[in-house]
Structure 1
Amino acid sequence: MYQSMLWDSLPTTVRAIIYKWQKHGTVKNLPRTGRLTKITPRAQRQLIQEVTKDPTTTSKELQASLASVKVIVHDSKRLDKNGLHGRVPRRKPLLSKKNIKARLSFARKHLDDPQDFWENNLWTNETKIELFGRSVSHYVWCKSNIAFQNKNIIPKVKYGGGSVIVWGCFAASGPGRLAVINGTMNSAIYQKILKENVRTSVCDLKLKRTWVLQQDNDPKHTRKSTSECLKKNKMKNLECPSQSSDLNPIEMLWHDLKKVVLARKPSNVAELQQFCKDEWAKIPPQRCNRLIASY
């Protein structure tokens, strides 16, 4: 009876702590609060050094590495205070030693080219745009345990629900023509696209007579028949190293195009094609000029 009276006289918070202690066995196993553990400046510096040296380090790896100084990394608040935040890593092509050497050679070759040279280039490429694909990352604000409610779900369809492949070109003066490719693209279709769109785009963008066509090293672009077609039509080609899509500023325009097209929520492939053409024509020349100016 004396124990019961003593228990009832304890504050509610104290009784809750004792109850959790009895449930989990020891104080060490009690659930952690949101308060940061106090650590020494030396341990703090070591934590920052570990993350700076290898940004992909996980919390468990940090705990194992910093066990000697008794630092427990249970959340990211400590790193946030030091300007280190969790981010989705950027992706770029895996480069071999041969690719790296070719990219360095390309940079040295064109190091002293004037700005007029880059402004007189016609940058070209193809891309695939899916109807319901994850071409753009999406985020939703939601509480715990409601991630699968309809308002928090983005529909997913097998194989993207349909897609289109488009070929486009642009220069510092603005976007050129955009061609929609029906079916599988091969060298014959690519040569036809060049004949129908390149000269027209050069005239529309008012490029000088010394203009240069840029294209990547896709097999369709480097075939002997394609090279002969370029030579026959007097199209000078700017050869870029392999695995160097990041050297083509048109990739930034593809990102812009996909974002605005998917925001319009096309319901079928026909609408997707039309939205691509409409939004490509709306790209401001200032955007193109800034991309070339930063090259």
Structure 2
Amino acid sequence: MNAAYSKHFEAVSLCCHVKAPNMSLEAPAKYLKKSKSFVKQWVRHHSIHKNVDDLSNRGKIRKTTSREDNVIGNLFNQNPSLTLDKAQKKLSKKGIKYLKSLLETAFVKKRMEWAQENLNRDWDNVIFTDEASFWLSTSTKRVWCVKGKKLIQRTVKHPRKIHVWGCFNRRGFGKLLIVKQNLDTRFMKEIYQCALIPSADKWLGKGNRDWLLQEDNDPKYRSRLCSMWKEENDVQTLGWPSQSPDANPTENVWALMKMKLQGVIIKNQIHLARKIREIWRTLPVQYAEKLVESIPRRCQAILSNNGDWISY
């Protein structure tokens, strides 16, 4: 009798056998270290089929064979710290790609409408903004190990990180703000005043409000406080579709900066902040121009792909 069959048999026996203590669902579940739903499921199964055998068509269809399972297991035994992300990158280098999850119909429709509406927009007077987090070290590291075998790894419970907010326009990259605390609604007002407006004045002339602010749909950007500040300061925003990081060029900037930080030995948060500023200052105007020039192509790609994800 295998272990699984034994659990099924015990669950039913403790509840239904004439010589059993006639327990409720909760007691055998606790005894077997299983859930109440597990016990209930097999009691019901026994009442219908008069056995505790697994149904032949029960569960999902396997995607791999037993041999393939053994190969996968051997790979992770050789390198227990191999993450799914690293495995994915190795497969990508071999030309094997994975598909992103499908977008909901409502998001697809909004993306199509946005792309059509902005396909021929003049993007020269749009200021692109976004925020990102940079970690001093990686957070909890997961490893693969055999059940019952403990592997002790020293990790930092709350890894240090810093948050950055930046903006850019076709004319170049603006001010970059680096903070340790999470960005909230009140702090965003300070960012608008101390970083957004000075950058806009530098690019488009002091006091000029003939430009659009691009932001994603983060709730704090749409909050009452931030909305009031924009209205009081005559700042107009550009509508942006939800679930569309692939349309946002600032995401490419953060990805480039994080790539440049790879391999750099960072000593502390001050050192990390200094390196981030150094990279930001070296971003050329030509890069900003290329990002802005890519927006019409992104819009066209969204339309050509019927609103689905695009490769940007």
| TM-score of the alignment, normalized to the shorter chain, above 0.5 | yes
Matches of 1:228 and 1:194, distance apart in 2:
12
Report the alpha carbon displacement of residue 96 of structure 1 after superposing the two structures with TM: 1.3
2:94 — aligned with what?
Answer: 86
1:132 aligns with one of 123, 137, 143: 137
Counterpart for residue 184 of structure 2: 186
The percentage of counterpart residues that share the same residue type is 26
Equivalent position amino acid for 2:129 in 1: T
Q: CA deviation at 1:157?
A: 4.4
2:217 pairs with 1:217: yes
Larger radius of gyration: 1
1:164 aligns with 2:162: yes
Shift of 1:90: 6.5
Cα pair 1:133 1:156 within 8 Å, conserved:
no
* Whole-Å separation in 2 of the counterparts to 1:277 and 1:85: 31
Are residues 279 and 188 of structure 1, via their aligned partners in 2, closer, same or farther at CA, if it must alter by over 3 Å? same
Equivalent residue of 1:221, what SS?
coil
User: Which amino acid letter does the alignment assign opposite residue 218 of structure 1?
Assistant: D
What CA RMSD, in Å, does the superposition of the two structures yield over aligned residues? Answer: 2.9
| Aligned pairs (5 A) from 1:14-163 | 60=65, 86-87=94-95, 89=97, 95-113=103-121, 117-133=122-138, 157-158=155-156, 161-163=159-161
8 Å CA contact 2:209, 2:234 repeated in 1: no
5+ long unaligned stretches in structure 2: 1-61, 69-91, 140-152, 296-312
Structure 1 alignment gaps of length 5 or more: 1-56, 64-83, 135-154
Displacement after TM superposition at 1:156 (Å): 8.3
User: Residue 105 and residue 132 in structure 1: after superposition, are their counterparts in 2 closer, same or farther (change >3 A)?
Assistant: same
Give the aligned length: 195
Task: Give 1:107's aligned amino acid.
Answer: A
* Cα pair distance change 1:94/1:283, threshold 3 Å: farther
| Pairwise CA distance, 1:95 | 2.2
CA spacing shift, 1:157–1:202, aligned 2, 3 Å:
farther
Name segments (4+ residues, structure 1) moved above 6 Å: none
CA contact (8 A) 2:128 2:169 kept: yes
Q: Deviations over 1:245-268 (max 9, x none)?
A: 111101111011112234432111
**Could you tell me the TM-score, scaled by structure 1's length?**
0.59
> Which moves more between the two structures, 203-212 or 224-233?
203-212
Secondary structure of the structure 2 residue equivalent to 1:164: strand
Q: Which amino acid aligns with 1:124?
A: T
Distance change in 2, residues 1:259/1:94 (3 Å) = same
**SS of match in other structure, 2:221:** helix
